[in-house]
Structures are given as structure tokens and as C-alpha cells.
Chains A and B, each alone.
Chain A
Amino acid sequence: MRRLEMVLSRLAWFVPTMAGLIVIVFLISNVIPTDPVRIMAGENATQEQVEALRVKLGYDKPLAVQLLRHFQDVLSGNLGTSIYTQRPISEDLFKRLPATLELSIAAITVAILLGIPLGVVSALKRNAWIDQVLRVLSVSGLAFAAFWLAMELQFLFSMTLRIAPLNGRISGFGPDPVTGFMTIDSLIQGDWESLRSALAHLCLPALTLALPAAATIVRFSRAGVLEVINSNHVLYQRAMGIPSRLIVWKYVLRNALISTVTQIGLIFGVLLTNAVVVETVFDWPGLGSFAVQSILQSDHKAIIGFTIWTGGLIVAINLLVDIAHSLIDPRGAR
């Protein structure tokens, strides 16, 4: 019962958080002392043209009225029309969402497969040379500019060694879109050639995004394991003569996993941050490259739409992580 209550209260927070996000994005784009209408009208527009556009777009109304209209628009899914594609922005974002999700999920999988074992080894061999090496690597993993790493990987694997595709999601037309996930769609349709191509195209961008995330996971899982190893219950088990290997496999690993799962929301945030620039380098048709194209076009409405969608995505993921955590870990229910 208490868990249900807890899950419900977390769910209830989703609404005010999203409302707050919409307000903040609105204020940022309106309180800042520039004239969005002036920018939209272009440098050569006359004062009359600017004023006409202002009335047309509703920017002449009081701020509160504008905010209310903005709310109505966002809630009805109407984010305006993209200057770049001439299509509704929500439609564009929805079409591009699977590409970003596919890339992020691939990256997080790689990061977890790399990060957790290395973090556990690092903790078990605390202060040995391997721990020192991993410490240096995990600090450096967070010091790269993601877009630079992306370019250097392209340079090395695509341009020089020619063993990975340079950019894009797939060669040729690819499978018929069902879910929008290239890998899943080719699996469903039994199109092995497309699957191979989709996986090959995923390699470099996923690796670029996975490296900083893996560095973060190494640190969390190392700390998680150290905390458990030093805890009284492990001390007790040792005293009872339970073999070390059993303790590690049964208790320590599970706790390292839990401490990583609780950070997935945070790691996902880092991932999306990097995705914005990495998608651009790899011409990956996801949300991030949409945002960058919108910047280049000074497409104000599209950027607001992107901000709201990304914010919503992260808030939703954090919510799911919170709920999952409260279900796994009884202490979380309080």
C-alpha cells in the first residue's frame, strides 16, 4: 500500500514538473531582452512588417495571455511549424525520437557492459595498479569533448581503416518502418542485410556516447561495491566463513548493480547532452541533429519544442527509475 502511494505521488509530480518546464522555457524565450519577432522577420524587414508579424503571431498580447496560449498549444501537441522542414514540429520530433532512443539504448548497453565489470574489478583490487589505471581512464573518459571524440573515431575507423560506416543510420533504403528502430524493424522482417548494416552504423556513435557514460558507471559501481564490502553484513558473512567468491557474486554484485540503476537517469542526461553534438557529427537523424539544424535556421519554435520534448523524456526516465528503485529496494519506500 505504501509503495502504491509512493508510486502515485511520484506520478503526481510529473504534472507540475512538466508545467514548470513549459513555463521556464517560455520565460527564457520571452524575458530575455531580445525581440524574437525581429529575429523571425529577418534583418531586412521594416518596422511595419515586424509589427504586422507580431500581431499575427500573438506577440502583442500581454505575457500572461501568451503563456496561456503557449500552454494550450503545448498540451494539444501543437508546437508550430518548422522553418527547416515545413512540417509540424511535433511530427518531426516524433519521427526522430526512435533514432535517438535506439542510439541511446545501444550506448547505455555498451556502457553498462563495460562499466560495471571494470568498476567491480577496480573496487576488489583497490589501490592495485589496475585500480590506478582505471581511475586515470575514468577521469579521462569524462574529459573528452564528445564531438571531438566522434570526429577522431570517424577519422580512425571510417576514413583511415575503413572498417566502419562514416555516417547515417543504414546503407540503402533499410527495412519498412514499423517501430522506427532500424534494428528491430529488420529483425521483424527477417532482413539480415539491413540488420548487419544498421548494427554497423550504430557502432561508432554508440561507442562515442558510451565512453563517458561508462566512465561514470565505473565510478558509481566502484563506490557501490566499496560501500558493501565495508558494510557490517559482509563483515559478518566473512566471520561466518562464507567464501569470498560467494559473497562477491551473491551480495556485492547485486548492490553494485542497484547503485548503478539508480544513476541511470543521471547517466541518460549525460548521454542526451552528448547526443546533441554527436548526432550532428554522424548525421544521425535523431532529436539532437534536429536541434542543431533548427539552431542553424534560427528556428526558434523548433528549439522550444526540442527543449520541452527532451526535458519530458528525462523527467519520464527519472520517474521510471524512481518507481523501479522503490520496487527493488524496500528502503526507498520509507
Chain B
Amino acid sequence: MTGGAMTGGAATARRQQAGWQRVLKRFTGDRAAFLGASLILTLVLVAIFAPVLSPFPGDVSEFHTAQRLRPPDAVNWLGTDRMGSDLLSRILFGARITITIAVIAVGTAVLVGVPIGLVAGYYVGWPSNLLMRVSDIFLAVPQIVLAIAIAQTLGPSIENVILALSITYWPFWARLVYAETRSVKNEVFVESAIALGASAPRVMILHILPNIASAIIVRTSIGMGATILTAAALGFLGLGAPPPAPEWGRMIAESREFLPEAWWYATAPGIAIFLVVMGFNLLGDGLRDILDPRIRRAVGRSE
């Protein structure tokens, strides 16, 4: 290694740092992304501090049938449910279930799908084609349909919801990363890295992955929102965490028979789901504008 190469490396590092500062600046400037990130941060803080924040932490498992179906008042800010439990406390604790399912399910799908897509995109041949055909078949069916089939076979529990969502979600990541890898693979910098004798794993991890990372990050944020909706639907159908777990989707299902009298019962968990999903969608949308250089250029040209 010569001094020239090292200064070149240092210059790249400086450029990268400047790039990240630019991203950070855009981020705080983008109202949508900022609002999204704030909503998600709130969700995480609520999940962590649920026992402190809840007015009645015991109501996750305790019933007070004498106080059932009370409308919102000074004691129960969001009213009580059919068991007389405080809805606000249950919703705050429900944040834990929501975030656990979303993080583990999406995390697993990404960890499985991204390497598969990367390898299949890098090598040309029948194994790649076969992998992509398999993921195409998965993608042909709405995720919730396969997830229902799996979750029903396994029985209702949080672990099974996570498993069902991961099994049905990895093909999406494989497909995405495959397409991105194929388009980056023919760029000059990848060809020159190969020409310089870089090994295949090195090219994939150090040269291709960083260049498709922004697409993965953007889709992860939007995917978290979509996964929370699917998990809520599974909960609504009775395939999620068994009672008395304060799962938002199940709470809405339980509230159905008390409409229209107990209007607050369905409203509160529904708004909780909406705010969290909105947070991830806004963040994903904002990050797309910030991170994707193609869109940035297109917007720059048109304005």
C-alpha cells in the first residue's frame, strides 16, 4: 500500500462523513421523516416504560368486572374494556407486543432474504433462477393468506405469529435485493473491484451491499408498518397472542360486540395502530427522498 492509496482512503472517509452530515441535515429538515421518527421513538419509549407510564399496570391481567365498559373519564382516560380493565394501560403494554413482533419478524425476514437476494443476484445460473422463482410463488399470494395458513396450523401465540410473518416475508427481501444487486453489479466500480482480484464475498459485502443499503433501509421502515398491520389482522382473527395479552388487534375484535354503545373501546387501539404505522410510513417515505440519489437527482432537475 502506498501513501497515495491511503490519502485516497482518507478522502473517501471524509466524503462519507460529509455525506452522512448531509443526510442528517436533510433528515431534520424533512418534516415528514422527523414526525415519523418521533412517533416511532414514542412507541419505543412507551414499550420500555409501560409499567411506569400506565395508570393501572396491574390491569393487563386483572379484571374489575364492576367497572366494565366505562366511558373515558378522569380516572380511566380512555375508558375501560369488557373486563373493567383500564384501556390506556392495556394499550401502553400492547406497544411491547407490537414492537416485539415487528422487530423480530422483519429482522428475521431481512437477515434471511438479503443474503439470498445478494448471492442470487451476484451469480448467474439456474440456482439463482430457481431461488427467484420460489420467491415469486410466495409473492404471488397475499402475505396474510399464507400467514393465516401457517399461524392456524401452529396455533395462536406471539412466537407463531412471528414465525408465520417471517416465513412469508423473506421472499420480498430476496426479490428486492436480487433486483438491486443485478442493477449495481454491472457498474464500473464493481467490475474494477473484480478486475483488481477482490473475492466474491468482498465485492458483495463491501462494494454492492453499501450501494443498495438505502433501498433496504427505506423498505425496512415501510415493511415494519405493513407487518404491524398484518400482525394486528392476525390478532383480530384470533390467531395472535392468546388472552389476556393486550394485543391491539385482538382488543378491537373484542370490542366489536359492544358497538355502538362503547365507541371508545374500538377507537383507542385503532388509533394506536394508525399512529405507529403512520410513523413507519412517514419515516420510510422521508428516508426515500433523503437517501435515494436517483430520486434526489430527478427532483433537483425538475425544480
Contact = CB atoms under 8 A, between A and B. Distances in A.
B116 to A, nearest CB: 16
A9 interface: no
Nearest to A33: B154
Main SS at interface, chain A: helix
Contacts, number: 156
Nearest to A287: B145
A292 B237 contact: yes
Interface string A133-167: 00100011011111110011011000110000000
A269 interface: yes
B238 A151 contact: no
A270 to B, nearest CB: 8
Given A145-B270, A148-B273, A230-B301, A272 B233 contact: no
A160 B261 CA distance: 10
B46 interface: no
Q: How large is the interface on B (under 10, 10 to 19, 20 to 34, 35 or more residues)?
A: 35 or more
B12 interface: no
Interface string B261-303: 0010011011001100110011001000000000000100111
Contact of A300 (B32, B152, B167): B152
Given A155-B260, A307-B149, A147 B252 contact: yes
Interface in A5-30: 16-17, 20-21, 24-25, 28-29
A32 to B, nearest CB: 5
A93 B267 CA distance: 33
A303 B152 contact: yes
B148 A151 contact: no
A277 B233 contact: yes
B270 A155 contact: no
B270 A152 contact: yes
Nearest to A272: B142
A277 B145 contact: no
B167 A28 contact: yes
A270 B144 CA distance: 10
Nearest to A294: B152
B51 to A, nearest CB: 26
B113 interface: no
Contacts of B255: 151
Contacts of B252: 145, 147-148, 151
A142 B276 CA distance: 12
Q: What 5 A-B pairs have minimum CB-CB distances, sorted nearest first?
A: A148-B270, A159-B260, A20-B137, A143-B277, A311-B141
Given A148-B252, A152-B267, A273-B142, 15 more contacts: A20-B133, A34-B154, A126-B302, A127-B303, A145-B273, A146-B229, A147-B233, A148-B269, A226-B298, A269-B142, A276-B142, A277-B237, A295-B148, A303-B148, A304-B149
27 contacts: A24-B137, A28-B146, A29-B149, A39-B155, A140-B274, A140-B278, A143-B274, A144-B270, A145-B233, A146-B233, A148-B252, A148-B270, A151-B256, A151-B259, A151-B266, A152-B270, A226-B298, A273-B233, A276-B142, A276-B233, A277-B233, A280-B237, A281-B256, A295-B238, A303-B152, A307-B149, A315-B140
Interface of A: 16-17, 20-21, 24-25, 28-29, 32, 34, 36, 39, 126-127, 135, 139-140, 142-148, 151-152, 154-155, 159-160, 226, 229-230, 269-270, 272-273, 276-277, 280-281, 291-292, 295-296, 298, 300, 303-304, 306-307, 310-311, 314-315, 318
